[in-house]
Amino acid sequence: MKRSFLLLLILSHSIFAQKNLNLDFEILEDGKAKNWSVFGDGDYSISYEQLISKSGNICASIKSNSQNVEFNALSYKIPADFGGKKIKLTGYIKTENVSSGWAGLWMRIDPYIAFDNMKSRGITGTTEWKKYEIELSLNNNAKTIVFGGILAGTGKIWVDNLKITVDGKSLENTPKKVLTKPQLDTEFDTGSKITFLTLDENQINNLDLLGRIWGFLKYYHPAIGGGNYNWDYELFRFLPNYQKVKPNKERDSLLTDWIKRLGELKPCKSCKETSKEAFLKPDLAWIDNKGLSNILVSKLKYIQTNRHQGDQYYISMIPNVNNPKFTNENPYYDMKYPDAGFRLLALYRYWNMIQYFFPYKHLIDKDWNSCLIEYIPKFINADSELKYELAALQIIADIKDTHANLWGGNNKIQEQRGNYYPPFHVCFVENKLVIDDYFNPELKTESGLEIGDVITHVNGKAVETFIKENHNLYPASNQPTRLRNMSFDILRANSNTISITYTHNNKSLTKDLKLYNKENLNFYFGYKKEPNGKSYKMLDNNIGYITLKYIKKKDIDSIKSNFKNARGIIVDIRNYPSAFVPFSLGNFLNSNRTNFVKFTQGNKNNPGEFTFRNGRKVGIDRSWSYKGKKVVVLVNEHSQSQSEYTAMAFKAGNKTIVMGSTTAGADGNVSKINLPGGLQTMISGIGVYYPDGTETQRVGIIPDIEVKPTIKGIKEGRDEVLEKAIEYINTN
């Protein structure tokens, strides 16, 4: 997941001439293919080769030079100045010894619209030239199309004869892009022109009210939902006069006139009242509680009653899943540090997305209604790019969702944290920061620290102090997951040396520890994946072991055949599954068909309403079903999202127990969010519950038998959780 998300975020910088595309690599300049660029991490070589090409004289190749690799990609960029519904990339690929990853084509529609890198169907091993394709949905928000070939992992690929078509037509024959009314409004493309007056209590309260009304109108008013206004820019048009109002009567009159200018609303015949069965109801109490004029209250309530229905310009629901898709949200990538008006827009945009479309708003520790007024001065007064990123990260952390981090646009935060890391991996065990592995074993002697040593201080500061001071900068659903994420950064720095205090054999020692650029380490987050890792094996005493970090759909038939009569089966989900197997594997493990999950979903026709919908069943009694009596599922804080959903499916079986420690507590399909300045985040977009309505968000999958690693076990190189699972199967 990490690699594919990196590809989604990195922009290439190749220059393009539409009339002279070089998609077959035939035009070289200074030994490089004209208008092509390369990006990625790790030790790779890019070549433009003759004799082996699919067609013409030249093809491109990517080759790994060591095991210290992540991915490398060839990149070509064209402007999306054409219309159409579907864009297709086709091309030919040949591979040699591709392993510990995949090869394929990739294509991304910017800004942040659609992406595919063939990870789920990637090419492995050695293959001859074959045609592949990627097709993505296109819309007129697209500004650029970026595409090429990718190698993730080791081996070599050759790429040749790429072609782009739109709705089956060549680029030369595509229709002209038809812009919407919001897209034609470009008045504030270079800046909001907003400066804020002194932020006294009255001004902040007024801005709090404006943010609520702006967001309410965005999702409720038919004129805005119908795409008649660039609602970002209407905010900037309204703000200068709004800041000048003093008495509440004058303020309310200005707001009422603003609403009137949107046009009269016809009575809505299809608008339904909020269902009495709704799990969450629209939170609009502020309309009555803000002391607004009767006229303004009446206007707002009339809009609520006669709200927009059907296709909405700024929100849609993903088909079949029904998590929100925040459409037509300009990320304003060119504004690395947006001006004060755009910073306030970022807050308004995010707060209202959570207010109306976050399925777990009821689980936020804070009263979300208090957060808007709290963050208004923080966003407006963020006088640097770093402070703006930190303000965004803090409010993202407030919703307590492990999916909801700052995944892109956080360059200054990353610069502040540094790019130098220790040569070893650390994790929290027994509430202590413990060395549990070396990224590069050859660096162990130089570092002088052993597996199992405990880091207590960094540059004189206790690890516990770091945790306390940075708690609000690490978004997570629960504390074990927050500590998981923090562990990567506690020893991270901008310099190649830090001072640490550590405990070794009950002695407290201090030393200067050498750090290394991440690119020079066999670095990994969370859990380690080995090249060519196998997804299953038979342990002693006829116990089957399956790890989902290497699982492939094609493995399922072999697992059924080999493990059908096993004494017991252990399924290790202390990782993120490399394939979606809740049903294909779950039906094998569970012969009793039963419900294992149900969902809540939002309603774009009544923003803020969430209702339950039917969940899913798992389990089939067939001749190939598992005949044994014991299945043990292993989980911990690295079990997140799809891992948790998969654990729920397996747990439903009458043979299954869950063992380990609490999971990440972030389930449900994610919804992406763009904020001004190119900031990118996500939320869990649907609510995921057990069939009886028990929460999973923030709680995680609670083990039936809790087993945690110990420092003693780490020193001895043992997997105590796996040992306990084997013991359970052998003795029960």
Mean of the pLDDT values across residues 393-419? 96
Please answer whether residues 639 and 631 qualify as being in contact, where contact means their C-beta atoms are separated by less than 8 angstroms.
no
Please answer whether residues 568 and 630 qualify as being in contact, where contact means their C-beta atoms are separated by less than 8 angstroms.
yes
Please answer whether residues 256 and 293 qualify as being in contact, where contact means their C-beta atoms are separated by less than 8 angstroms.
yes
Sign of CA dihedral 219, 220, 226, 232: negative
pLDDT of 583 reads 97
pLDDT of 547 reads 98
Q: What percent of the chain has pLDDT over 90?
A: 88
Element (H, E) at 447: helix 444-447
pLDDT of 4 reads 37
Residue 732: band (very low, low, confident or very high) from pLDDT cuts 50, 70, 90: confident
Integer Cα distance of 131 and 159 in angstroms:
10
Please answer whether residues 660 and 472 qualify as being in contact, where contact means their C-beta atoms are separated by less than 8 angstroms.
no
In this structure, what token pair is assigned to residue 197? 């007056």
Burial class (CB in 10 A: 0-12, 13-18, 19+), 515: buried
How far from chain centre, in Å, is Cα 56? Answer: 40
Domain ranges within the chain, ordered by starting residue: 2-178, 182-276+283-314, 536-731
Please answer whether residues 651 and 694 qualify as being in contact, where contact means their C-beta atoms are separated by less than 8 angstroms.
no
Q: What are the C-alpha distances in Å from 607 to residues 280, 357, 359, 615, 630?
A: 10, 7, 11, 22, 45
**340-357 and 201-220 are packed helices; what angle lies between their axes, rounded to 10 degrees?**
60
> What is the per-residue pLDDT across 305-315, written as a single tens digit (0 to 9) for each?
999 999 999 99
Look over the chain and give the mean of its residue pLDDT values, rounded to a whole number.
Answer: 94
How far from chain centre, in Å, is Cα 707? Answer: 29
The amino acid at residue 266 is K
pLDDT of 234 reads 98
In this structure, what token pair is assigned to residue 370? 């208090």
Identify which of 700, 671, 697, 695 has the alpha carbon closest to the alpha carbon of residue 683: 671
Which class is domain 2-178?
A: mainly beta
Mean of the pLDDT values across residues 153-158? 94
The dihedrals phi and psi of 701, each to the nearest 5 degrees, come to -90, 110
DSSP-assigned beta bridge partners for residue 695: 689
Counting every residue written for the chain, the total comes to 732
pLDDT at 9 over 70: no
Locate all alpha helices (DSSP H) within 327-442, ordered by sequence. 340-357, 368-380, 385-398, 411-417
List Cβ neighbours of 427 (8 Å cut-off, separation of 6 or more).
433, 434, 436, 484, 487
Integer Cα distance of 342 and 190 in angstroms:
11
Query: β-strand 568-572 against 543-547: which pairing, if any?
Result: parallel
Please answer whether residues 316 and 602 qualify as being in contact, where contact means their C-beta atoms are separated by less than 8 angstroms.
no
Mean of the pLDDT values across residues 430-453? 96
pLDDT of 414 reads 96
pLDDT at 271 over 90: yes
Q: What percent of the chain has pLDDT over 70?
A: 97
Q: Report, in angstroms and rounded to the nearest whole number, the Rg of the chain calculated over CA atoms.
A: 27
Q: Please tell me the least confidently modeled range out of 46-60, 369-383, 459-473.
A: 46-60
> What is the per-residue pLDDT across 638-672, written as a single tens digit (0 to 9) for each?
999 999 999 999 999 999 999 999 999 999 899 99
> What is the per-residue pLDDT across 513-556, written as a single tens digit (0 to 9) for each?
999 998 889 999 889 888 778 999 999 999 999 999 999 999 99
Please answer whether residues 553 and 613 qualify as being in contact, where contact means their C-beta atoms are separated by less than 8 angstroms.
no
Query: β-strand 420-421 against 324-325: which pairing, if any?
Result: unpaired
Q: Residue 2 gets which letter from DSSP?
A: H
pLDDT of 10 reads 34
Identify which of 126, 142, 123 has the alpha carbon closest to the alpha carbon of residue 134: 123
In this structure, what token pair is assigned to residue 594? 């039963």
Q: Which residue has the tokens 């493309």?
A: 189
pLDDT of 530 reads 83
pLDDT of 541 reads 96
pLDDT at 41 over 90: no
The amino acid at residue 674 is N
pLDDT of 79 reads 93
pLDDT of 532 reads 78
Which class is domain 536-731?
A: alpha beta
> What is the per-residue pLDDT across 308-339, written as a single tens digit (0 to 9) for each?
999 999 999 999 999 999 999 999 988 989 99
3-state secondary structure 88-147: EEEEEEEEEEEEEEEEEEEEEEECCCEEECCHHHCEEEEEEEEEEEEEEECCCCCCEEEE
List Cβ neighbours of 556 (8 Å cut-off, separation of 6 or more).
581, 584, 585, 588
In this structure, what token pair is assigned to residue 597? 């999950």
Q: What are the C-alpha distances in Å from 203 to residues 200, 206, 248?
A: 5, 5, 11
> What is the per-residue pLDDT across 75-132, written as a single tens digit (0 to 9) for each?
999 999 999 999 999 999 999 999 888 999 999 998 878 899 998 899 999 999 999 9
* ∠ CA 517-519-521, rounded to 5°: 80
Integer Cα distance of 713 and 718 in angstroms:
5
Sign of CA dihedral 72, 76, 77, 78: negative
The amino acid at residue 512 is D
* ∠ CA 480-487-397, rounded to 5°: 60
Integer Cα distance of 580 and 563 in angstroms:
19
Q: Residue 77 half-sphere exposure, CB side, CA atoms within 13 Å?
A: 17
